Structure 1
Amino acid sequence: MERTAKPSEPPAEIALGERMNANTVTVITGTPGGTYFRAGADLAFALDDGDRMRILPILGKGAGENAYDLRFLKGVDLGFVRTDTLEQLRQDKRLKNIEQRIQYIAKLFNDELHILAPLSVEKISDLAGKRVSFDVKGSGTDYSGRVMFKELGISVDPVNVDQPTALEMLRKGEIAAVVSVAAKPVAFLEGFDPKNRFHLVPATYSETMNEAYVPATLSSVDYPRLVGAQPVETVAVGSILGVYNSPKGSPRYEKLVRFVDAFFGQFDKFLSPPRHPKWREVNLAASVSGWTRFQPAQDWLDRHRGPDAAPSPELTRFFQSQAGRSADKDEIYRAYLKWRRSQ
């Protein structure tokens, strides 16, 4: 059979394609309506700069699967993962030197443990031995939620179904609770009508828990139909903007350097509506125990907070207002972000 010759592409089209690929950074997010999905959209809208920088969000299953996508999918540059993700990957005997493959640009906000159950379930220990849904297999809730229950000493019968299906199963009494580990407020819980039958169950933080987990609360401001006047105690895990550690000097590395400059340099854009309110919790200077920061991100921070950095007039004004105050760099930076938002 005679082969049909492939028409050559015009030089202008070749140049356009090369430019688009060189300036597009992809980020694996989460399911529609979730916080990671919204945060990915915020990155795209806030940092879009025509031909110079484009952020392309990709739907994902959540932090658990995102780690594998970030490690193995050739088209994924960034991903929303969690502080406990490396431990998850270390347990996979197929993977080697994962700390050098996946690094982080910045620690972001916390994802809280949500446990939706009937009013008869007063505390997390009431769920021992019962069927509990942990979202779909491979999701962030599937990994972090199960580990949180284990760290709290509660053994349950885990079920993996999507959240809408889980809510219907809960209404019918087929499962005892629906778990979600996500940044509050979670959309599917925000819109859930409890009909005076369901509530969010407390999960009190234990000092024996892994350092990846921290105490947190859920309030009536977050969920007016699910929480009363008294806040609900729970636990949380940190989210991270993870990055594939591409070889220095490669085209992929160079565009990630440009992303770091844009993300850190224009972070003010994330601190007011319509961006997700969770961005206001972010301290760009915060380090993450057990993780390695992507070198261009570390270089950016060193340049802008090092002894030789030339502070902006507003930063100088802020530090003058802090005269005589004793605090470490991370604390001062958090105070600076809070001060800047108030200006």
Structure 2
Amino acid sequence: MGTRGMGMRSMRAVQSCAMAWIGACVMSFGLLLAGEQAGQAREAAAQKRSAAQDSATEATLSETLNANTVSIVTGTPGGTYFRTGADLAFVLDDGDKLRILPILGRGAGANAYDLRFLKGVDLGFVRTDTLDQLRQDKRLKEIEKRIHYVAKLFNDELHVIAPKEISAISDLAGKRVSFDVKGSGTDYSGRAMFRELGLAVEAVNVDQPTALEMLRRGELEAVVSVAARPVGIIAGFEPAGRFHLVTVPYSDRIGEAYVPATLTGADYPKLVDGSKPVETLAVGTILGVYNHPKSSERYRKLERFTTAFFDRFERFLAPQHHPKWREVNLAASVPGWTRFQPAQDWLDSHREDTPSQTEVERFLSEQPQGAAADKEEVYQAYLRWRRAQRPEYGMVRR
């Protein structure tokens, strides 16, 4: 064979080897590519499964949190409603079972509208005269069916700070008087109390710190506050011998939403002579609730809240909580209002045994002559006396 023939065979052999190598490389690359694509597909599938699991976990968490959280609209920072709302959140917190979410509010007057119309509000601190306020709003229909109450809580007292020259509440007729900011509890209840007294004044709306400074400068004749005593800003007010708390006598012509009350030197040592308590009026604060349909989840969680509130009520009486809790009579009814059915059911199933006539007569015989005849004061005195006689006695059976 010639040299040329051998060269051709060698070239074909090289080409064959090259083609085989290239084919092998292509096949390997294809396998690698297929493997990579398969891996990517598996990774994508895993990511989808993980995303689905995460979505399910988030949905479950969202459902759990919403199912066990109730919100309550309270009041301005530092006020009684704000503090008692914080007490509710602390005492009734039960992990994932129940959580209370307090919301800052503008006072009882605005709270009523928040409770009626804001979708995220379940409960709110309102007052015994709130329904009268809402009935005057022609835009509202069947408000009595929308807002019920869990319990009457404590009283908010009427405070009237004025120069000492104002010796009687009637002296304010026609004078400039501040009723806090528009929409506040003082704005409605304070004006309503003045109307009940038959007293017409030039009413203005100014925030309390500003109003007290205006009072000092003679730009106002009086500042009104309707709030649970002691009110911090009033207790801290320096009268400089010029101002005092004006007496507001109770009369039979005043509506049933209002009751007699007193302000003492212990509450306001700078404004009240310690030996002469100041007579005034008070309006009850109640724990209002939106009456959702019984078949709804929101109704059921409010039912759980109500049970927890009554079952754990004695915890609110601890010293670290607001002293106003100690004035609460859980069984007290509110004329003109409908009690939330789960609350009524709880009370019906925990009724204390009726006191005997002998026991009542013994209590009355031990009271000092001339003791206050106000029904609520007598009832509270009776509760204290009975607890002392029977330590196991509570406001209701536990």
Aligned residue for 1:81? 126
Distance 1:159 1:180 in 2: 13
CA distances 1:277-318 after superposition (whole Å, capped 9, x unpaired): 11111111111111000001001111111xxxxxxxxx78xx
Distance 2:325 2:99 in 1: 20
CA distances 1:165-194 after superposition (whole Å, capped 9, x unpaired): 111111111111110001111111122121
Distance 2:381 2:59 in 1: 45
Aligned residue for 2:212? 167
Question: How far is 1:337 from its partner?
Answer: 6.8
The correspondence for 1:289, drawn from 335, 342, 346, is 335
Structure-2 change in CA distance of 1:259 and 1:337 (3 Å): farther
Distance 2:214 2:183 in 1: 20
Distance 1:336 1:221 in 2: 23
Aligned residue for 1:241? 287
Question: How far is 1:326 from its partner?
Answer: 4.6
Aligned residue for 1:156? 201
Aligned residues with identical type, % of pairs: 68
Higher relative contact order (CA 8 A, sep 6+): 1
Q: What are the ranges of 5 or more consecutive residues in structure 1 without an aligned counterpart?
A: 1-6, 306-314
Aligned residue for 2:319? 273
Structure-2 change in CA distance of 1:341 and 1:262 (3 Å): farther
Aligned residue for 1:325? 359
Asked if 2 retains the 8 angstrom alpha-carbon contact of 1:103 and 1:291, the reply is yes
Distance 1:231 1:324 in 2: 34
Aligned residue for 2:79? 34
1:221 aligned counterpart, secondary structure: coil
Aligned residue for 1:222? 267
Structure 1 residue ranges, 4+ long, deviating more than 4 angstroms after superposition? 330-343
Asked if 1 retains the 8 angstrom alpha-carbon contact of 2:327 and 2:380, the reply is no
1:10 aligned counterpart, secondary structure: helix
Aligned residue for 1:109? 154
Question: How far is 1:13 from its partner?
Answer: 2.0
Distance 1:332 1:172 in 2: 44
Question: How far is 1:338 from its partner?
Answer: 6.5
2:113 aligned counterpart, secondary structure: helix
Question: How far is 1:49 from its partner?
Answer: 1.0
The correspondence for 1:14, drawn from 38, 59, 72, is 59
Asked if 2 retains the 8 angstrom alpha-carbon contact of 1:61 and 1:139, the reply is yes
Q: Which has the higher helix share?
A: 2
CA distances 1:223-248 after superposition (whole Å, capped 9, x unpaired): 11111020001011111100000110
Structure-2 change in CA distance of 1:135 and 1:341 (3 Å): farther
Structure-2 change in CA distance of 1:323 and 1:121 (3 Å): closer
Distance 2:292 2:386 in 1: 36
Q: What does 1:307-326 align with in structure 2 at a 5 Å threshold?
A: 324-326=358-360
Distance 2:357 2:166 in 1: 51
CA distances 1:104-154 after superposition (whole Å, capped 9, x unpaired): 000111111000111111111111111100011111110110010111111
Question: How far is 1:341 from its partner?
Answer: 8.5
Structure-2 change in CA distance of 1:174 and 1:165 (3 Å): same
Distance 2:379 2:77 in 1: 36
Report the structure number with the largest CA radius of gyration.
2
2:285 aligned counterpart, secondary structure: strand
2:199 aligned counterpart, secondary structure: coil
Question: How far is 1:20 from its partner?
Answer: 1.1
Question: How far is 1:272 from its partner?
Answer: 2.3
Asked if 1 retains the 8 angstrom alpha-carbon contact of 2:180 and 2:224, the reply is yes
Structure-2 change in CA distance of 1:105 and 1:54 (3 Å): same
The correspondence for 1:185, drawn from 190, 211, 230, is 230
Residue identity in the other structure for 1:269: R
Asked if 2 retains the 8 angstrom alpha-carbon contact of 1:271 and 1:341, the reply is no
Q: What does 1:60-79 align with in structure 2 at a 5 Å threshold?
A: 60-79=105-124
Asked if 1 retains the 8 angstrom alpha-carbon contact of 2:173 and 2:201, the reply is yes
Distance 1:325 1:140 in 2: 40
Structure-2 change in CA distance of 1:181 and 1:333 (3 Å): closer
Residue identity in the other structure for 1:95: L
Aligned residue for 1:251? 297
The answer to whether residue 332 in structure 2 is matched with residue 298 in structure 1 is no
TM-score under structure 1 normalisation? 0.89
